[in-house]
Amino acid sequence: MINKNARLSAHFTLGEMTKTSAKGIDNTPSHAAVMNLKNLCENWLEDLRYSYNTLYHLEPGEDYETSKNVKPIVINSGFRSEAVNKAIGGVKGSNHLTGCAVDIHVAGMEQAIRYACILLDIADGSQRDFDELLLERSPRGTFWLHFAVRPPSQENRRKIRFIQT
């Protein structure tokens, strides 16, 4: 049993990175997958959260740590076990299987583009690379941002796409 309340970073928990709509299916990550999720949270999602809020939600001079205007980054999907990935129709070999990917909820295309631009700026500014940055849209018109970073032992492809599912 995993501790869903365990913090992967200041604002992200293991529970939100392992939640799934596939009820009754085990979605327990390996230690390696937890470390990959921790890398995503500490080195990318915290920076995304800070930058997005600083640019679009804080008043000049307002403190990020104490402001009531700070908005969370909402995760739709992080780690997926093989069984969960299959049950929801995920791609075979998905980065989600290793804890290297997150699908981030967005309010629409504009927010997806803003998040994508911030993540590109983080990559360029830190000289760290990512594997996938995908702006996705379902047939129902809902959007989300898929973002993946492989572990240091694997090559990142810097794949950027708009995908209609």
Region of 104 on the Ramachandran plot (φ > 0 left; ψ -120 to 50 alpha; else beta): beta
DSSP 104-164: EE-SSHHHHHHHHHHHHHHHHHHT---SEEEEEE-TTS-EEEEEE---TTS----EEEEEE
* Residue located via tokens 């049950």: 87
Question: What is the reported pLDDT for 4?
Answer: 85
Domain ranges of the chain: 29-164
| d(C-alpha 91, C-alpha 135), whole Å | 16
Question: What is the reported pLDDT for 3?
Answer: 87
CA-closest candidate to residue 111, choices 132, 137, 148, 131: 137
Question: What is the reported pLDDT for 76?
Answer: 96
Show pLDDT as tens, one digit a residue, over the chain (165 residues): 678 899 999 999 999 999 998 899 999 999 999 999 999 999 999 999 999 999 999 999 999 999 999 999 999 999 999 999 999 999 999 999 999 999 999 999 999 999 999 999 999 999 999 999 999 999 999 999 999 999 988 999 999 999 988
The CATH number of the structural domain formed by 29-164 is: 3.30.1380.10
| d(C-alpha 127, C-alpha 56), whole Å | 24
Question: What is the reported pLDDT for 165?
Answer: 80
| d(C-alpha 160, C-alpha 137), whole Å | 14
Positive/negative CA dihedral, 142, 76, 114, 129: negative
- The three-state secondary structure class of 165 is coil
| d(C-alpha 110, C-alpha 31), whole Å | 35
Question: What is the reported pLDDT for 1?
Answer: 63
The answer to whether residues 110 and 129 touch, using CB atoms and an 8 Å cutoff, is no
Tell me phi and psi for residue 146, to 5 degrees: -100, 130
